[in-house]
A and B are shown apart, each in its own frame.
Chain A
Amino acid sequence: MAKKDSTFLNMTLTLLIVTAISAVALGFVYNSTKGPIEDAKAQKLKNAINIVVPGADKGEVEEFKVPSPDGGEELTFYKVTHNGELKGYAVNTYSNNGFSGHISVMVGFDENGVIIDNNVLEHAETPGLGDKTSKDVSDWNSQFIGKNPAEFKLNVKKDGGDVDAITAATISSRAYCDALDRAYRGFVAFKESSDSKLVEVSDDNTLIEDNNTEVDSTSNENIGGTK
């Protein structure tokens, strides 16, 4: 074995060559996997939206940001329409109170704020306990389906709410409720702002109508007067 001497030049050259080859190889792999990775991510998002708002895969999805009701990170809304008809809103919400920190949840609302369906997107909760918030593991989160958070208190029963917590995973359940609650409050705030826009528009209409009725009434009066 004729090992090379560890001279300064030898060492520098060797490391340079090794790192250069590695860099080229990594660049090549990065470029060739970039597309599939993005596709996989987009597909994952699509599937997540389709779970909480069925029919999203056939309809059009419009993405926009809504400020979080209590400051912090923005919520991402996905408005799903199919042939111009509103199917629902999928909301990507989150909570930082999970047993292992951040959890990300996707929840679908219909136009009245009733929960269509919900599922966890990302979490680091304990396998076998806190991961039961995921549909893949248990059907715990189906208790939210068809509930309107205006009447259904998004809090575990221990805290005076209406939600059955996961056995031995109250913290994860609380975090999940927190995420849903944030989404609902964000949804209500968004609804109010978009409704007030609608109201402004309809106010204009009523003004015009009022004018019309005034005209009508005066004309009626006139008519009445002449009669």
Chain B
Amino acid sequence: MNQWKNFTKGFIKENPVFILLLGLCPTLGVTTSAINGLGMGLATTFVLLMSNTVISLIKNVIPNKVRIPSFIVIIASFVTIVDLVMAAYVPALHAQLGLFIPLIVVNCIVLGRAEAFASKNTVLSSMIDGLGMGLGFAFALTILGAVRELLGSYAIFGYKLINTDGMLVFVLAPGAFIGLAYLVAIVRRINK
């Protein structure tokens, strides 16, 4: 039961985007469409799961003073692996997200979970935490991407609902802030 809570906390209660407001750079940057948000979210989930697992495995052999550089090296390695694998096997998605994939390295969520959770908990809990947080992040990005795509180009996952231009502001940067603000407000209301 405890592990289930550990897993689900990333979706609403401690959602990285809506509640913790971490990792907003990729959140605002890539969510011009639902599919981009989902792709970015899943890439981050993979990195989170792997880095949390590895870091909780080696937490006892890393001297305290060099833990941050070690974590960063591990995270950067996984991000590079994701980048290369995506470029090789899903070049279309990689072309869309290309710029933001290397940014996962400095995504506060990844280092934040490594520091706050994985370096203090068991491997299993850390894996579940990484998976939950990552999926929560993917969930938030997909919702935001869907809202912006729906209002900005009247489409959802690339399917045009109304065949005209939408409210262009939602495709542009201001729309990301407006959309995120409303979603944060709604989630806070639900959590109350």
Residues of A within 8 A of B162 (CB): none
Centre residue among A2, A37, A167 by max chain B CB count within 10 A: A37
A22-B77 in contact (CB<8A): yes
Q: CA A131 – CA B74 in complex, angstroms?
A: 36
Closest B residue to A10 by beta carbon equals B63
Contact among A11, A44, A127, A167 with B171 in the assembled complex (CB-CB below 8 Å): A127
Spot the interface stretch: B1-9, B84-92, B104-112.
B84-92
Interface string of A41-59 (1 = CB under 8 A from B): 1001000000000000000
How many residues of A sit at the interface, in one of the four size bands? 20 to 34
A128-B85 in contact (CB<8A): no
A11-B63 in contact (CB<8A): yes
Distance of B40 from chain A, by nearest CB (Å): 14
Closest B residue to A169 by beta carbon equals B168
Q: A5-B63, A22-B73, A40-B91 are contacts. A128–B152 as well, Cβ < 8 Å?
A: yes
Contact among A4, A19, A22, A168 with B63 in the assembled complex (CB-CB below 8 Å): A4
Give how many B residues have a beta carbon under 8 Å from the other chain's beta carbons: 32
Spot the interface stretch: A24-32, A106-114, A206-214.
A24-32
B60-A3 in contact (CB<8A): yes
CB neighbors of A among B64-108 (8 A): 64-66, 69-70, 73-74, 76-77, 80-81, 84-85, 87-89, 91
Answer whether residue B172 sits at the interface, using C-beta atoms and an 8 A cutoff: yes
Q: A4-B61, A128-B153 are contacts. A11–B66 as well, Cβ < 8 Å?
A: yes
7 smallest beta-carbon distances between A and B, as pairs = A128-B171, A36-B88, A6-B65, A33-B88, A22-B77, A6-B63, A40-B91
Q: List 9 A-B contacts (CB under 8 A).
A: A6-B65, A14-B70, A15-B66, A22-B74, A29-B85, A37-B91, A44-B91, A128-B166, A128-B172
